[in-house]
Chains A and B, each alone.
Chain A
């Protein structure tokens, strides 16, 4: 299947001379959720802005649904919804008017039933007649999402949708994103929160200094790059780690009487079997064993530090 969004060799140099994007290539399949992770100033917003028509690329191209975002901008933009990073709404407009305005801009006739469904989904129906300036920050952000959805886009860009949003609302937004995915909408979101990417993304892209360092399925990324940890709980306290176990670099915690062993999940040999053999040779009795995957956060931090 042809990708719904295709970016090739996209570069951007701002008038100031700053190179914000360096030849970015990326394909996104219909229906997937891609999270773009990256520190401040990495170029996430620039990338999105070029696709959505806010910024002109210096070179390279992008197409949505097979339509070039510059040459066939009408068809391309009809497929796109954008929730910008900055909250910018007409203060005197009511929520409903704001939605009707956007839908009109996208060349669609008013559809009260659809707008009602969108507002209800975002818990904004009660606020439909409120002026946007009377809303809280989190509500305003939801209005922006509602506006981006009201012309039924097939690709939705969310530029830091949960920045400055409380924990509960974040969870709600994730729920909305999952529902949209279920409706077949392709979603590209940027975020600083790794747990966010971990919670909702299918694929994760890491961008830094205008370069797309990698794009990978979330599971693959965690498997490939991730370390696993094994925690071994002991029957008796251990006064000191025996010399025979030194090569495993074990951490001992006296508090919960456990040894922690870190190993490469994708390594040829994990060393677990020999560790168990050496433990029993040392006469150490085990009570319980638990293994866990390291989080995207660990991977991300490792990756960004690696390159700098």
Chain B
């Protein structure tokens, strides 16, 4: 195991993040603030409490997840796509590193960035609504697991993408709808029974439900099932990455 290589990749990815810190933070913070103003304050005051939680507070975990998912994917996919686009990726292929070090470096950095963004949004939310986090440890664990598994997913997109359009398509066409339909703004139990069943095929539902449990102690879905689904998603992504590097698919001619 080449730890110097992991450190090298990780710190240079983080350096990129800090170089563009304001851009990295402004957009997620601004958009979540807008959500809080519109949904939390303006509309939320007309909506009843859900499971004993005010609507403004209810949407906090979902909004954090919304940002964290999109940030994880875009950070990780861009991180590996950019050197591919520039051609500077040749260094990774000619260095004594395996995919393990490459993934640890890039995905580690992407996950760190989105976790930081998640925490900043959480702090922003404190400005707009009153809420308490019931299970702090579980909240952090869910946050980290989500950051890691979706950074893995983003890494796959970055490796497989042939151009910038493809790079942006998946987050736009797949992730945003999944997150919006994943119970960010409502409880699954509010849906008609048929749609409740459909929703169970949306992996994001499990994330948001588990994350919300960490905040308020109530969940749409069994906690163990939520954790199991995230773990499953993570292992599937790891499997795909392992296979991609092993076969050289999309990587080597």
* Chain A residues close to B by CB (< 8 Å): 14-15, 52-56, 73-78, 80, 82, 84, 86, 88-93, 97, 100-109, 147
Q: Can you report 10 residue pairs joining A to B where beta carbons are below 8 Å apart?
A: A14-B253, A56-B252, A77-B96, A78-B96, A84-B90, A105-B2, A105-B8, A106-B4, A107-B4, A107-B96
List the 7 closest A-B pairs by CB distance, nearest first: A104-B8, A88-B87, A105-B95, A74-B96, A77-B96, A107-B2, A88-B88
B177 within 8 A of A: no
Q: How far is the CA of A170 from the CA of B250 in the complex (A)?
A: 36
Find out whether the CB atom of A74 lies under 8 angstroms from the CB atom of B248: no
Q: How far is the CA of A89 from the CA of B89 in the complex (A)?
A: 9
B5 within 8 A of A: yes
B162 within 8 A of A: no
Chain B residues with CB below 8 A from A92, complex form: 16, 19
* Chain B residues close to A by CB (< 8 Å): 2-5, 7-9, 12, 15-16, 19, 83, 86-88, 90-98, 248, 252-253
**Which residue of B9, B92, B253 has the most chain A CB atoms within 10 A of its CB atom?**
B253
Q: How far is the CA of A53 from the CA of B251 in the complex (A)?
A: 11
Q: How far is the CA of A52 from the CA of B252 in the complex (A)?
A: 12
Chain A residues with CB below 8 A from B248, complex form: 56
Q: Chain B nearest CB: distance from A149 CB in Å?
A: 13
Chain A residues with CB below 8 A from B90, complex form: 54, 82, 84, 88
Find out whether the CB atom of B86 lies under 8 angstroms from the CB atom of A108: no
Chain A residues with CB below 8 A from B92, complex form: 105
Which residue of chain B lies nearest to A78 when distances are taken between CB atoms in the complex? Answer: B96
**Which residue of A80, A86, A102, A107 has the most chain B CB atoms within 10 A of its CB atom?**
A107
Q: How far is the CA of A73 from the CA of B3 in the complex (A)?
A: 16
Chain A residues with CB below 8 A from B15, complex form: 97
Find out whether the CB atom of A73 lies under 8 angstroms from the CB atom of B253: no
Find out whether the CB atom of B94 lies under 8 angstroms from the CB atom of A80: yes
Q: How far is the CA of A109 from the CA of B3 in the complex (A)?
A: 10
Find out whether the CB atom of B95 lies under 8 angstroms from the CB atom of A77: yes
Chain B residues with CB below 8 A from A91, complex form: 86
Find out whether the CB atom of B253 lies under 8 angstroms from the CB atom of A15: yes
A54 contact from B3, B7, B9, B94, Cβ within 8 A:
B94
Find out whether the CB atom of B86 lies under 8 angstroms from the CB atom of A90: yes
Q: How far is the CA of A101 from the CA of B15 in the complex (A)?
A: 12
A89 contact from B88, B93, B95, Cβ within 8 A:
B88
**Which residue of A73, A78, A103, A105 has the most chain B CB atoms within 10 A of its CB atom?**
A105
Q: How far is the CA of A104 from the CA of B105 in the complex (A)?
A: 12
Q: How far is the CA of A106 from the CA of B95 in the complex (A)?
A: 6
Find out whether the CB atom of A86 lies under 8 angstroms from the CB atom of B4: no
Which residue of chain B lies nearest to A73 when distances are taken between CB atoms in the complex? Answer: B96
Chain A residues with CB below 8 A from B19, complex form: 92
Q: How far is the CA of A74 from the CA of B87 in the complex (A)?
A: 22
Q: Chain B nearest CB: distance from A253 CB in Å?
A: 51
Find out whether the CB atom of A105 lies under 8 angstroms from the CB atom of B9: yes
Contacts A73-B96, A92-B19, A107-B5 hold; do A55 and B86 have CB atoms under 8 A apart? no
Q: How far is the CA of A196 from the CA of B45 in the complex (A)?
A: 79
Q: Chain B nearest CB: distance from A100 CB in Å?
A: 7
Which residue of chain A lies nearest to B95 when distances are taken between CB atoms in the complex? Answer: A105
Known pairs A88-B87, A101-B91, A107-B2; list 11 more (Cβ under 8 Å).
A54-B94, A55-B252, A55-B253, A74-B2, A80-B94, A92-B19, A97-B12, A104-B7, A104-B8, A106-B5, A108-B4
Which residue of chain B lies nearest to A90 when distances are taken between CB atoms in the complex? Answer: B88
Find out whether the CB atom of B96 lies under 8 angstroms from the CB atom of A75: yes
Find out whether the CB atom of A52 lies under 8 angstroms from the CB atom of B94: yes
Which residue of chain A lies nearest to B5 when distances are taken between CB atoms in the complex? Answer: A105
Q: How far is the CA of A76 from the CA of B86 in the complex (A)?
A: 25
Q: Chain A nearest CB: distance from B193 CB in Å?
A: 51
Chain A residues with CB below 8 A from B7, complex form: 104
Q: How far is the CA of A13 from the CA of B93 in the complex (A)?
A: 20
Find out whether the CB atom of B96 lies under 8 angstroms from the CB atom of A106: yes
Q: How far is the CA of A74 from the CA of B2 in the complex (A)?
A: 9
Q: How far is the CA of A191 from the CA of B252 in the complex (A)?
A: 25
A86 contact from B12, B87, B96, Cβ within 8 A:
B87
Q: How far is the CA of A97 from the CA of B11 in the complex (A)?
A: 11
Contacts A84-B90, A90-B83 hold; do A54 and B8 have CB atoms under 8 A apart? no
Chain B residues with CB below 8 A from A73, complex form: 96
Q: How far is the CA of A56 from the CA of B245 in the complex (A)?
A: 12
Find out whether the CB atom of B252 lies under 8 angstroms from the CB atom of A101: no
Which residue of chain A lies nearest to B82 when distances are taken between CB atoms in the complex? Answer: A90
B91 contact from A14, A86, A102, A108, Cβ within 8 A:
A102
